[in-house]
Amino acid sequence: MNYHIAKNGGDKKITNLGKDLIDGYGYGHVLQNVSDHFDKTYWDQPAEARSGLIIETCKKDGIKTSVQSKDILTGNPRLNAILLAEIFNDRHGLVLPKESVIEVPAEPETD
């Protein structure tokens, strides 16, 4: 989550999956980077509306979840962990380095 916040130039760090996620700040940065359906008005909304947009965006992206917007607002760390796992299992948004091929020299033949 902090990767996505930093990628967007955010200055807040998420240190727990409870109270730090109530305002939707972390989810917003993740969804802004990984979702095709991120609502550009998200940042102008209060926390209650943001939590609804988080769930709505997940549904539009085909991410099935049993977590509800009220679960985000209560700061339940277990349910937030579930929702984040569901998002990242489907769309992690990480830029992976290209694999470079390392050639290993052949072993010299011994008699």
Is the pLDDT at 101 greater than 70? The verdict is: no
Model confidence at 100, in pLDDT bands (50, 70, 90)? Answer: low
Residue 32, judged by CB atoms within 10 A of its CB (0-12, 13-18, 19+), counts as buried
Mean pLDDT across the chain, nearest whole number?
89
What are the backbone dihedrals phi and psi of residue 35, each rounded to the nearest 5 degrees, phi first? -100, 140
Cβ–Cβ under 8 Å, residues 39 and 9: no
Cα 10 from Cα 68, distance rounded (Å) = 25
Tens digit of pLDDT for each residue in 67-91? 999 999 999 999 999 999 999 987 7
What are the tens digits of pLDDT across the range 35-50? 989 999 999 999 999 9
Whole-number Å distance between alpha carbons of 33 and 27:
10
35, amino acid identity: S
- Separation of alpha carbons 90 and 85, rounded Å: 8
Bigger pLDDT: 26 vs 95 = 26
Instruction: Please report, for residues 29, 53, 85, 103, 108, the alpha-carbon distance to residue 42 in angstroms, rounded to integers and kept in the order given.
Output: 10, 7, 21, 48, 63
